[in-house]
Amino acid sequence: MAANFGNKFIKLYNGNLMPSVGLGTYQLVGDEVRQVVDKAIYLGYRHIDTAHSYNNEGEIGDIVKSRIGTGAIKRGDVFLTTKVPSVCHDPCDVVDCVELSRTQLDTKYLDLVLIHNPWTLKRNEKSNSTESIQFVRYNIQKTWRSLETCVKEGSIKSIGLSNFTTGQIQSILDGCSIKPANVQLECHAYLQQRKLYGFCQTTDITLTAYSPLGAHGRPERHRFEDQPVLLDDPELDSIARSHNKTKAQILLGWLLQRGFCVVPKSKSEQRLIENLDIFNIKLNRREWTQIQTMDKGIRYFKFKNMTGHPEFRPTEDF
């Protein structure tokens, strides 16, 4: 139960340390992401989570470089996570994508690179429409081997997966020479991911929870009528009062206690401060059980647009 209490870092199996609280940057672009990342680094954040598809790596790289230039931080102080998109699963595209991310983030190495999704897509080069995306069946182990090569060459320190099921993770483990160090997935009190959590514990793979507060700022395409607001759940009220914390802090602290890294997103300075002020939260057994009973299997990101893809497995835990 108390896997990571009081620990600001999670140790990956390869010995690298990952700050257990990071800044999520999904949907943050342009000047907005510059301002948020700059503010976050000033407040003490040392883990920035981005992705090729977020279209904000250049802005993040500018801010990190600027902070390094002023002497506020050193490159070794900040942990940069990014992701290879579904349209770049071909081995040649993987290498190009990694090099582009390194260039945009203005760094000699990337701390953690994830395959963003298990499903491979192909874009029609003659059209920029999202409707031009085609489903492709692909051997994802080839994609993984390209990431392994990047690790061996020194451009990436650790590699992992995102939105993979237990079966898909196992398929990578069956054919890899460098195993995944981290799996990033949607996880919160309404979606506790116990099966995948147990699987990753037995294989010594760390976990990162995205949308740990229930993805209240998610795009309209991911909003459905059967999705209650996690932060409105009254089950959290008494726990928050007893610890003199907000409900958001309790949810993040609970995940840290489970051993997760968390990457909440916020534009508010107050919430950025609060999201870092969670290392002194230790839930007792009654509170732990109370949160466990909140598990409803509610997934805020259903990826329904992937229905029909051979690697989209909504009935398998992921």
| Active site residue ranges | 54
Phi first, then psi, for residue 309 (nearest 5°) are -75, 140
Rounded distance, CA 273 to CA 246, Å? 12
CA–CA distances in Å: residue 150 to residues 29, 154, 171, 233: 27, 6, 20, 44
Would you mind telling me the total number of residues written for the chain in this entry? 318
**Beta-carbon contacts of residue 70 (< 8 Å; ≥ 6 apart):** none
Rounded distance, CA 13 to CA 16, Å? 7
**Beta-carbon contacts of residue 30 (< 8 Å; ≥ 6 apart):** 56, 59
Residue in this structure with the two tokens 């939260």, named with its chain if needed: 281
Phi first, then psi, for residue 135 (nearest 5°) are -75, 140
Half-sphere exposure of 223 (CA within 13 A, CB side): 6
- What Rg, from alpha-carbon coordinates, does the chain have? 19
Rounded distance, CA 280 to CA 12, Å? 22
Residue 293 is encoded by which pair of tokens? 């009973």
Rounded distance, CA 113 to CA 49, Å? 10
How many other CB atoms sit within 10 Å of the CB of residue 241? 11
Cβ distance 226 to 233 under 8 Å? no
Rounded distance, CA 8 to CA 18, Å? 9
Cβ distance 138 to 145 under 8 Å? no
